[in-house]
């Protein structure tokens, strides 16, 4: 079995994508932490990369000293890890993979996996993805569904609602969301309605959620349990607010639900979230909710893209 050295900046949204690559390709892996010694050191890394100069003096690596052999490749996600990836790739003589667009650095990794909405450079080593990599497999969702059913035994078909909050390009408006939810209720008569909020959900949105007759309600600020994997596995319809690319990517990758995107109020347009949804809509993987229910239940399989990346490093 191949084994990967995953460099992580400690951000779950980043290292989970590196882990996802390994899980989806059957590669063993170990994680080590990397961080720059200062903000100046990170800024300098861009310049040194442009000059073709690579030094470990700019960053720290935790836990690698005793395990510098036995790896077949290096994988990393996110800007903090890209320069260390190159340095260690050269030091250990290992091929490397970057996940997400290494903007500002030379795109000379052996393979780069990047969502199309990030507009990566057009190069032979760049493999565009229609959505984000998700660090899970079907067994994980089945186990989480069983766990959820111990808490809330389903009495029939279900419609799940995953409610987020504002992000850099949009805001979530209580009045507009209320109108969307009421219409969704009309369209899902005969289904149980389950809802969960996120850590970014504002108080006024939480109050709105609690005022509506959901059959199951999880308010994230008061309960850390995560029912999202169970929703993805069990629901016939899944409504997801438009603020999380990772959440939409999970819904479009797993389960069998028809996925509806509840659009937040856009503050900047066009933006990468809109590009993601439009691309997935063309694949029948999501439907942008317009007061009607779509039939978007086609799940995206990234196996061909991930296998192509592996060929680049073999």
**Cis ω for the linkage preceding 180 (within 30 of 0):** no
Provide the edge-to-edge strand list for the sheet that holds 192-196: 216-218, 192-196, 158-162, 237-241, 258-262, 287-288
Residue 136 confidence (pLDDT) above 80: no
- Is 110 in the same domain as 228? no
- Measure Cα distances from 258 to 38, 243, 254, 276, 312 in Å: 46, 18, 11, 17, 35
In terms of domains, do 162 and 280 share one? yes
* Confidence check: pLDDT of 137 > 90: no
Tell me which of 12-26, 60-74, 126-140, 266-280 is least confident: 60-74
pLDDT tens for each residue of 223-253: 999 999 999 999 999 999 999 999 999 999 9
Mean pLDDT, range 177-196, rounded to an integer: 98
Cβ contact 42:104 at 8 Å: no
Check residue 66 and give its pLDDT: 54
Q: Has residue 108 been placed in a domain? A: yes
Residue partners of 69: CB distance under 8 A and separation at least 6: none
Structural domain including 271 reads 138-288
Among 101, 129, 157, give the residue marking a domain's end: 129
**pLDDT score for 13:** 82
Could you tell me the CATH number of the domain that includes residue 96? 3.40.50
Number of domains in the chain: 2
Q: Residue 3: what are its φ and ψ, rounded to 5°?
A: -135, 130
Answer whether residue 216 is part of any domain: yes
Residue 304 inside a domain? The answer is: no
- Residue 68, pLDDT score: 62
Same domain, 92 and 212: no
Q: Largest Cα–Cα distance of the chain, in whole Å?
A: 63
d(CA 172, CA 152): 28
Tell me the pLDDT tens digit for each residue of 80-108.
999 999 999 999 999 999 999 999 999 99
Q: Are residues 160 and 242 in the same domain?
A: yes
């Amino acid at each position: 079995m191949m084994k990967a050295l995953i460099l992580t900046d400690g951000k779950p949204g980043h290292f989970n994508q590196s882990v996802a690559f390994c899980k989806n390709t059957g590669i063993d892996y170990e994680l080590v932490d990397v961080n720059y010694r200062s903000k100046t050191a990170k800024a300098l890394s861009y310049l040194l990369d442009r000059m073709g100069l690579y030094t470990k003096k700019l960053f720290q690596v935790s836990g690698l000293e005793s395990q510098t052999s036995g790896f077949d490749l290096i994988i990393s996600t996110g800007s903090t890890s890209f320069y260390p990836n190159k340095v260690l790739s050269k030091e250990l003589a290992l091929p490397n993979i970057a996940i997400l667009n290494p903007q500002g650095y030379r795109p000379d990794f052996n393979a780069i996996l990047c969502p199309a909405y990030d507009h990566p450079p057009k190069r032979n080593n760049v493999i565009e993805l229609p959505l984000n990599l998700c660090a899970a497999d079907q067994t994980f969702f089945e186990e989480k569904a069983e766990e959820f059913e111990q808490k809330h035994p389903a009495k029939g078909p279900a419609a799940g609602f995953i409610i987020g909050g504002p992000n850099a390009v949009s805001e979530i408006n209580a009045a507009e969301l209320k109108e969307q939810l009421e219409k969704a209720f009309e369209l899902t008569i005969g289904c149980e309605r389950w809802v969960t909020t996120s850590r970014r959900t504002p108080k006024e949105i939480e109050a709105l959620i609690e005022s509506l007759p959901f059959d199951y309600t999880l308010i994230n600020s008061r309960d850390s349990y995560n029912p999202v994997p169970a929703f993805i596995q069990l629901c016939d319809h899944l409504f997801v607010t438009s603020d999380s690319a990772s959440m939409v990517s999970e819904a479009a990758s797993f389960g069998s639900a028809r996925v509806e995107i509840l659009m937040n109020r856009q503050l900047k347009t066009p933006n990468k979230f809109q590009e993601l949804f439009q691309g997935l809509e063309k694949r029948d993987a999501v439907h942008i909710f317009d007061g009607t229910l779509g039939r978007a239940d086609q799940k995206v399989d990234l196996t061909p893209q991930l296998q192509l990346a592996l060929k680049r490093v073999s």
